[in-house]
């Protein structure tokens, strides 16, 4: 499992075109291009498909998933740069960078005010990807820094975490999903030199390790703290089967989040946590390979 944790963090430039062709279908760029072409005007973003017709359901920019689809276009742009475009892989059928930039434009205003709370990290994804292409893009730099500031403002040093949902004090709720949003703090710290952002990210991850992760590698979805004392008052779920179950998507958030913390800090404790959680996930996949909700 150490191999798994390391694999997901290897730079694309190391792996590049060494992936077997079978791991990438030419249908991927075809389907993504079709979705880009179907985006409404004004821009809304795909989140899930209708269960009957299979049609995308689109949502306004101020939605927690809105950054995912533009970032997917950036991912195809990166793959095209690394692997080249061929008739077999279909990566040359679109200007992915241009499409992604156009689709990201509707997210810019959210850097100042939005209704997504801790999920500003998700909203920042396209702008982080833009900076990988053009580090001098002022709009992207400003967006990343502003999203990071919004997240940092949700940090409570007594609890040791950024707040997830805005429940009234003294109830301070933190969900495992927050591990996915810490990355924007590191990106902004690199841009600004503000080490306080790194401290917030590592403190949140350390507190999450202590209180969200079970000994067997399973996870609680929601930890309730007392805002003023930092005491854990309850461990529950909001989307899993029960309070004592492990919500599959939350487990995936934890695997990625802690592996990413290892990448950013080099702290092997985060790698070990990611490995423990991944072992639990793999050890509980049913024989049909379909992961339960």
Active-site annotation holds for 195: no
3-state secondary structure of 235: strand
- For residues 225 and 232, is the Cβ–Cβ distance under 8 A? yes
End-to-end Cα distance, the chain = 23
Q: Which of 293, 280, 284, 282 is nearest to 240 (CA)?
A: 293
Measure the CA–CA gap between 98 and 104, rounded to whole angstroms. Answer: 10
Measure the CA–CA gap between 165 and 51, rounded to whole angstroms. Answer: 29
Structure tokens at 242: 């029960």
The alpha helices in the chain, defined as continuous H runs, are 2-7, 12-15, 27-37, 68-83, 96-104, 120-123, 125-133, 138-152, 183-192, 195-212, 248-265, 268-283
Measure the CA–CA gap between 7 and 15, rounded to whole angstroms. Answer: 9
Annotated active-site residue in 50, 55, 62, 119: 119
Active-site annotation holds for 119: yes
Give how far Cα 231 sits from Cα of 48, 163, 203, 207, 224, Å.
Answer: 37, 14, 15, 11, 8
Residues 6+ apart with CB under 8 A from 36: 73, 94, 99, 103
- For residues 175 and 222, is the Cβ–Cβ distance under 8 A? yes
3-state secondary structure of 48: strand
236 class by beta-carbon count within 10 Å (0-12 exposed, 13-18 middle, 19+ buried): middle
Annotated active-site residue in 55, 166, 169, 177: 177
Q: Which sequence positions are flagged as catalytic?
A: 119, 177
């Amino acid at each position: 499992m150490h191999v798994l944790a390391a694999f997901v963090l290897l730079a694309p430039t190391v792996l590049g075109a060494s992936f077997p062709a079978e791991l990438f279908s030419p249908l991927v760029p075809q389907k993504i291009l079709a979705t880009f072409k179907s985006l409404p005007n004004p821009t809304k973003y795909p989140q899930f498909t209708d269960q009957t017709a299979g049609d995308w359901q689109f949502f306004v920019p101020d939605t927690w998933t809105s950054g995912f689809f533009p970032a997917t276009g950036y991912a195809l742009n990166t793959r095209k740069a690394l692997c080249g475009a061929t008739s077999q892989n279909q990566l040359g059928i679109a200007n992915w960078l241009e499409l992604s930039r156009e689709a990201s434009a509707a997210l810019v205003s959210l850097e100042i005010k939005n209704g997504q709370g801790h999920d500003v990290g998700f909203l920042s994804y396209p702008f982080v990807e833009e900076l990988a292409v053009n580090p001098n893009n002022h709009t992207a730099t400003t967006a990343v820094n502003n999203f990071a500031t919004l997240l940092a403002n949700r940090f409570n040093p007594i609890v040791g975490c950024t707040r997830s949902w805005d429940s009234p004090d003294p109830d301070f709720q933190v969900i495992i999903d927050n591990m996915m949003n810490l990355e924007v703090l590191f990106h902004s710290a690199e841009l600004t030199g503000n080490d306080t952002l790194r401290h917030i990210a590592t403190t949140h991850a350390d507190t999450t390790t202590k209180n969200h992760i079970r000994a067997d590698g399973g996870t609680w979805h929601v930890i309730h703290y007392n805002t003023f004392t930092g005491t854990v008052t309850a461990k529950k779920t909001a989307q899993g089967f029960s309070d004592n179950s492990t919500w599959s998507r939350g487990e995936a958030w934890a695997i990625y989040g802690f592996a990413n913390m290892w990448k950013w800090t080099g702290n092997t404790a985060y790698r070990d946590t990611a490995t423990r959680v991944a072992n639990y996930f793999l050890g509980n996949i049913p024989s049909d390979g379909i992961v339960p909700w």
